[in-house]
Structure 1
Amino acid sequence: MASQRPRILVTGASGLIGRHFLAATLDDCEIVGLARRTPQQVGIAEHPNLRWFQADIGRAECLEGVTEQIAAGGPIDFVLHLAGYYDFTYEDNPEYQRSNVDGTRNVLELARRLGVRRFIFASSLAACEFRGRREPIDEETPPDASFEYARSKRQGEAMLADYSRHFRATVLRFAAVVTDWCEYAPLYVFLNTWLSGAWNARILGGKGRTGITYIHIRDLIKLIRAVMAQDEQLPAFSTYVASPDGTVTHRELYDLAQRFYHGHVPRPILMPKPLAAPGVLLRDLVGRLVGRRPFERLWMLGYMDHQLRVDASRTRAALGWAPAERDHVLHRMLYMIENMISRPEIWRGRNEAFFRRRDLRPSLVISEELEREKERVLRELEGRLRGAGQAASYPRLRALPPEEVRRMLRVLLQLLVGSIRGVNRSLLLNYIDERWPELAGAGVAPEEFCELLGDLNAILLGLTIELPRLAGLRQQCHSFISLTLQLARDQVYVADEHLRLEPAGVAAPTTPPTAPRQAVLGSASEVIDQLRARYRLSPHSTLTLDDLQLLLQALEDRQRR
């Protein structure tokens, strides 16, 4: 019987909003997470309702490769498209086009292929120009700001409107999203500066009237769920504002933070733009010279004393949703300051993660390139194994049936790629631990198998020098490839030592060779469970169909012996 739970595809599932959405919905929804990071990298716990695919939405072939696997789990009801790139440099980073525009187009096409019911697109109130605007921003305000991030969101909204002929669609324009740990980079920088006791701790730009709106993560999750719950009643295409009404100024935030932290409010120094500009330029110049630019940039002065004011009354009326008064940023400031004081390490770790993030995940880039070149690698590795003059190096491996050796090489390479992609070396190491008794029983010495792993390492490193996408990733290639294979060589000796220490006559139970496949392995779900248990994988390990097929073959071979 098919599950009655909604099935939701979440892009950017490893990000701040994605993680909180998963935590709030996993018990009553089935989630398909799509992200460049693994769940383990961002602390997402295992859950039976979660399936995870590691992919880069900016590469169409990545999404084409997971379409069949996602569809195999059942129909997708909703797509929540959170993935995207942004920073606060105001520079024209190519990631805006690659991730935000091309990536959104790729996800829209994935949604069309999957036949989803509704597509929810995470846009931003920052896409709306508010300087010089007298009326507040509402659901009908055009996304007309001119900087690169805003343009990418405008293009995303336009593409969604075009695709709404295939499925229902909703644009959600987010305010600045905060938690009780802050986790919004500009506010974090402000708080660190104001409460630091440094020379600039009391400085406020202009008259302190610069203002935007903030939404607490809890209110945002409730809004997203309200859209999903009312899917049938909502228009085929709609735009809503994820924000409280009004605005919050820097002076309001400064006063409240100082009062909670110091018990009083030091009088701020109001810095007019003509005086602020030289200081910002000088600090940025020094930062460039020492390789650590400050957060403040000259473009920010263009927003000094301007206010992004919001009227979200139509959103509240349409969805029956309203942000909780106690979740307003001015109410949550108390909890932010408490967390800042009582748990400073966690506070810094959560907030500085934004500044450490990468445009591209090296593990994903490397694994994609090796996946693409795996047939070439296998040919070269088999050529070395079978080549003239190699009899002394591989006496026992050359004596094994060629098809069995070929399958073993393919499994090794596929598991190495999977280990790199999932940043989980145990995938390969556990397989070696599992397979070594059979190889040792065939007379293969540890030195012989380790030489094979050394040849594989040499082939892969030679290949990485040729591939343009891996230029500049030499250190990461060493870590993900050479270090993993070095650990694999060490695991061979560990497994061999354990084997020699086993009591004589102890053997693993076998399955009769005539046992039919279904009797040996059971149902498809049982097969997956067996594979995950044998190789100690989490339920949302980032395995591809190739990984599973090769592991399945290895498991069948093992059980038939």
Structure 2
Amino acid sequence: MTQPSDPSIQKDVILVTGSSGLIGSAVVHKLGLLNTVIGFDRAGPPYPPEEAVCITADMTDKASIEQALAEVRERFGNRIASVVHLAAYYDFSGEPSPLYENLTVQGTKHLLEALQSFEVEQFIFSSSNLIYKPTTPGHPLDENAPLDPAWDYPKSKVETENVIHQQRGQIPTVILRIAGAYNEMGHSVPVVHQIQRIYERTLTSHFYSGDTASGNAYVHIDDVVDAIRLTIEQHHQLAPETVFNIGEAKPVSYGEIQETTGQVLYGTDWTTIELPKLLAKAGAYAQDLVGDPFIKPWMIERADDHYELNIDKAKQQLNWQPRYTLMTTLPTIIKNLQAHPDLWYKVNGLELPSELQ
């Protein structure tokens, strides 16, 4: 085994892919004080936090992955306590992209192949609750629930979970099926767009093409980081292959977000009318002709989908449970929009309307 040249190898070495991303940065901050954290990321900004040793790695390029791991071996030795694999492609528009295959699926395959010559004690993969077949209120989904990914993003997660099973070799693996992540500035794509429509008083903010009582599972980014930390700390007690749901047990409905947003912004409930799907689709297609609205025709088909998670396994085996809820955090998200609209729009990747500039 190559001898490490860096004295910090006395700490556990943790490799984080996608280390400059929203969750990746938070993981680096959390783990960087007590561990040697190596951040794999693309060249150029944004960069991983300063707590990480940054190594350039293009996860779509097998040779780049192998070269980056060769640098890890040279500087830190052959033992890696945990690989936290967060790098993946995500586009909520639903548009197809070769990056789902090249980055999420094949990138994971090449990474696992290159890790076989290391002493890897654990490989953690961030999957999604959206891989499940939707359920109905009061019937939470556990880790054995049927899978039915509806669009390219969750489909790529299912394919990658299968790749991990096939390619892991002797590396113990943990798959975290993570709910929609948010923090006090928003960051959850459907939530921030819903708030944006009400804030701007758009006509579409008053209409919905599904059951407003249907909801989704969410989880605060700090709770995701805690789940990853606990998964690493307890890796010796976990099965060689295991899966955990990571999310809040109580889903949040479209109607609840509408009502809370209206109350915080304007002191009144926001009138919401449920539209027939055919009419909603026609409206969405018409909007597509004149711009690039967030509501796409394919989303209308999924408007009734309900995701509710059973998190008992994570509670029992990881001693994890969420400390936050979206419903208690939502007023803070909205108040941050009111206080700093320029910043809120920027961090959520939204274009500030001319009348608000």
Q: Same fold (TM over 0.5)?
A: yes
Distance 1:46 1:161 in 2: 33
Q: Percent identity?
A: 27
Counterpart residue number, 1:141: 145
Q: Structure 1 pair 43/333, CA: closer, same or farther in 2 (3 Å)?
A: farther
Among 8, 21, 29, the residue aligned to 1:23: 29
Counterpart residue number, 2:318: 319
Higher strand share: 2
Counterpart residue number, 1:70: 72
The Cα shift of 1:147 comes to 2.7
Q: Residue 88 of structure 2: SS of its match in structure 1?
A: coil
Distance 1:243 1:266 in 2: 27
Counterpart residue number, 1:244: 248
Among 93, 102, 107, the residue aligned to 1:98: 102
Distance 2:150 2:199 in 1: 33
Higher helix share: 1
Which amino acid counterpart does residue 227 of structure 1 have in structure 2? T
Is 1:260 aligned to residue 260 of structure 2? no
Which amino acid counterpart does residue 212 of structure 1 have in structure 2? N
Which amino acid counterpart does residue 17 of structure 2 have in structure 1? T
Q: Structure 1 pair 209/153, CA: closer, same or farther in 2 (3 Å)?
A: same
Which amino acid counterpart does residue 263 of structure 2 have in structure 1? R
The Cα shift of 1:305 comes to 2.4
Q: Residue 42 of structure 1: SS of its match in structure 2?
A: coil
The Cα shift of 1:165 comes to 3.3
The Cα shift of 1:246 comes to 3.2
Contact 1:212–1:249 (CA<8 Å) still a contact in 2?
Answer: yes
Which amino acid counterpart does residue 12 of structure 1 have in structure 2? G
Distance 1:303 1:197 in 2: 24
Q: Structure 1 pair 9/217, CA: closer, same or farther in 2 (3 Å)?
A: same
Among 80, 84, 97, the residue aligned to 2:84: 80
Indicate the structure whose relative CO is greater, using CA pairs within 8 Å and at least 6 residues apart.
2
Is 1:9 aligned to residue 9 of structure 2? no
Aligned length: 343
| 1:502-523, Cα deviation, whole Å (9 max, x unpaired) | xxxxxxxxxxxxxxxxxxxxxx
Distance 1:147 1:207 in 2: 20
The Cα shift of 1:133 comes to 9.8
Q: Structure 1 pair 271/37, CA: closer, same or farther in 2 (3 Å)?
A: farther
Distance 2:80 2:58 in 1: 19
Is 1:298 aligned to residue 297 of structure 2? yes
Which amino acid counterpart does residue 289 of structure 2 have in structure 1? L
The Cα shift of 1:303 comes to 1.4
The 5 A counterparts of 1:443-482 are: none
Q: Which runs of 5+ in 1 are unaligned?
A: 288-292, 355-561
| 1:409-446, Cα deviation, whole Å (9 max, x unpaired) | xxxxxxxxxxxxxxxxxxxxxxxxxxxxxxxxxxxxxx
Distance 2:173 2:347 in 1: 32
| 1:168-191, Cα deviation, whole Å (9 max, x unpaired) | 110000100101111122211111
TM-score, length-scaled by structure 2: 0.90
Contact 1:143–1:150 (CA<8 Å) still a contact in 2?
Answer: no
Which has the larger Rg? 1
Q: Structure 1 pair 245/109, CA: closer, same or farther in 2 (3 Å)?
A: same
Q: Structure 1 pair 142/108, CA: closer, same or farther in 2 (3 Å)?
A: farther
Is 1:230 aligned to residue 234 of structure 2? yes
Which amino acid counterpart does residue 18 of structure 2 have in structure 1? G
Q: Residue 98 of structure 1: SS of its match in structure 2?
A: helix
Is 1:119 aligned to residue 123 of structure 2? yes
The Cα shift of 1:45 comes to 4.5
The 5 A counterparts of 1:40-79 are: 41-42=45-46, 44-47=48-51, 50-72=52-74, 73-74=76-77, 75-79=79-83
Distance 1:188 1:319 in 2: 30
Q: Structure 1 pair 132/332, CA: closer, same or farther in 2 (3 Å)?
A: closer
Q: Residue 33 of structure 1: SS of its match in structure 2?
A: strand
Distance 2:201 2:155 in 1: 38
Which amino acid counterpart does residue 106 of structure 1 have in structure 2? H
Contact 2:210–2:304 (CA<8 Å) still a contact in 1?
Answer: yes
Counterpart residue number, 2:3: none
Q: Which runs of 5+ in 2 are unaligned?
A: 1-6, 352-357
Counterpart residue number, 1:383: none
Q: Structure 1 pair 46/353, CA: closer, same or farther in 2 (3 Å)?
A: farther
Distance 2:54 2:8 in 1: 20
The Cα shift of 1:56 comes to 1.1
TM-score, length-scaled by structure 1: 0.58
Counterpart residue number, 1:34: 40
| 1:525-556, Cα deviation, whole Å (9 max, x unpaired) | xxxxxxxxxxxxxxxxxxxxxxxxxxxxxxxx
Which amino acid counterpart does residue 305 of structure 1 have in structure 2? D
Distance 1:14 1:217 in 2: 14
Distance 1:61 1:331 in 2: 46
Contact 1:207–1:271 (CA<8 Å) still a contact in 2?
Answer: no
